[in-house]
Structure 1
Amino acid sequence: MYRDIKCKKCRKSILNEGQTKDLFLNAHSSPVASPPEECASVQEQSNIFLNEELLPHWIILRIEAEKWSRGKLNCPYCDSKIGSFDFVSGLKCSCSSNFLPPVHVIKSKIDLIREST
């Protein structure tokens, strides 16, 4: 999986190895480590969905500031937009069978550092 997630703008670590285990979900709310499902979601190609039960403290604070509705996730260091959350709309996956997880980061706004094998 990933050992570190960094902001693409300031290059500071926003999620480290201890925080990433079981945090990432696919567009159908299944752990990324599980076998891929048949749906090739467009949203899944550009976003990484996060398990709302395992969010790091700084993301929870941002969500609580918006009263668990919807808003943007910004880097805690440089304030650059790295994702968003939406607990109101309940957007569906492009296959129309499942609702998307409410919290995501945008792949193009972050650097994914893989574990060395």
Structure 2
Amino acid sequence: MLMILPVAGPSADGPTASEKASIDALSALAAAGATVSDVKGFCERQPGACDVGSQALKLMGERVGVGAAMLQDYFGGEATTGAAATPAAKLTAPARDTLTPADRKPAWRGQPAGARAA
């Protein structure tokens, strides 16, 4: 996503206009392939870090999806998450008066049977 956004202003460190023109789709694809290959190698060298990173990316993706759905709901559209839309479950009132007589009986706090008072 960030690669398609325009960059504000010229950069002294970046490529010139003629250098930018020489970067074609095939070169970009080759660079992306090399990056993926390097990431695979990193995951083989550091499997723990790779697992944590994949979990973080999954969580970030879920949050982005929820955020997009919230924005779409806010602006009046129906959010689609790729799954079939299901109606929200009806909320029921919390249960009341569910204690049994044994539950209501207070716990014994005195001395155990057979113990002498001090």
Asked if Structure 1 and Structure 2 have the same fold, meaning a TM-score greater than 0.5 normalized by the shorter chain, the answer is: no
Larger RCO of the pair (alpha carbons < 8 Å, separation 6+): 1
Q: Give the helix-richer structure, 1 or 2.
A: 2
Q: Give the strand-richer structure, 1 or 2.
A: 1
TM-score normalised by L of structure 1? 0.20
TM-score normalised by L of structure 2? 0.20
Larger-Rg structure: 2
